[in-house]
Amino acid sequence: MNGIISIYKEKGYTSHDVVAAARKILNYKKIGHTGTLDPEAEGVLPICIGKATKAVEFLMDFDKTYKAIVEFGTTTTTQDYTGEIISQKKVDFNEDKIKEAVFSFVGEYEQVPPMYSAIKINGKRLYQIAREGKTVERKARKVYIHNIDILAFLPPNQIEIEVSCSKGTYIRTLCEDIGNKLGFGAYMKDLIRTKVGIFELENSIKLEELKNQLNLGNIDNIIIKIDKVFYNYNSIKIKYSGENLLKNGNKINLSYIDDPIKVLKAGNIVKVYSYKNEFIGLYKVEDNYLKPLKLFL
């Protein structure tokens, strides 16, 4: 069993809970997830099975899309509804000012990670330090907001937004930052992750449905093949004469490429297939060779 299943994580589950449940349902141990989604959040959580667990590091780099409810006028210790209230201020619900503040975050911005996060400082996770009632200085990290849409204004103090962003972006921190820019603070009331790379909410299944599909014998229909997630890389087929080099994980001279017309530039990453169209892995173009980057044999 090798491939990726896009799970719809329901509220109340940790990402680890989802993996543990999937292992039990599928009776298969080699399963991993592709990036933590907070227990209070719901939405897309791709899980990698078998050989696909080697792809986790690549899938974690994919851009993500979220829908969130921002509530203005209140800040909390966790930047979401689970935390204790820190401050409360009167909200000036001016749509034009809110638009200006929200859209100002499009592009690259320096984001300070929240105390309640899994980031490690001096070997200790920030949420562990926070639970001890302590706060430590965190370095701002560059994140990229590709797009923000305001889906709805919800007077007297809420908006719904859709955010497409780079990995490592904390949406609850973004919500608070928007509120701080407006002068009255904010926290994240609700969060749904709607997309991770090619995986979308509409094509994700809940754990109970995973169990049902397994019982119906349809599991192969919901497992996405490993190579499909690398949609942004060109495909290269290797001749029969280069088969042993592929199986042994050696560099491949470009003369073994079945389609010599394709133009390859040094530094490019490509998907490599055997002459039988078997997906071998990701390779990096180096001068006259293809160097193995990640094999899925």
Backbone angles phi, psi at 55, to 5 degrees: -90, -5
Distance CA 71, CA 195 (A): 23
> What positions carry a catalytic annotation?
38
Non-local (6+) Cβ contacts of 17 within 8 A are none
**Amino acid making up residue 280:** I
Extract the runs of DSSP E, i.e. beta strands, from the chain: 3-9, 31-33, 42-49, 64-72, 74-76, 85-88, 107-111, 120-121, 124-125, 141-154, 158-165, 186-196, 199-200, 234-237, 252-253, 269-273, 279-286, 289-295
- The span from the CA of 116 to the CA of 127, in Å, is 4
How many whole angstroms from its chain centre is CA 48?
A: 13
CA distance 72 to 90: 9
CA dihedral 149, 153, 157, 43 (to 10 degrees): -50
Cβ pair 167, 58 in contact under 8 A = no
Burial class (CB in 10 A: 0-12, 13-18, 19+), 17: middle
d(CA 79, CA 113): 11
Q: What are phi and psi of 271, to 5 degrees?
A: -90, 130
Give bridge partners of residue 68 from the DSSP assignment: 161, 191
Q: How far apart are the first and last CA of the chain?
A: 13
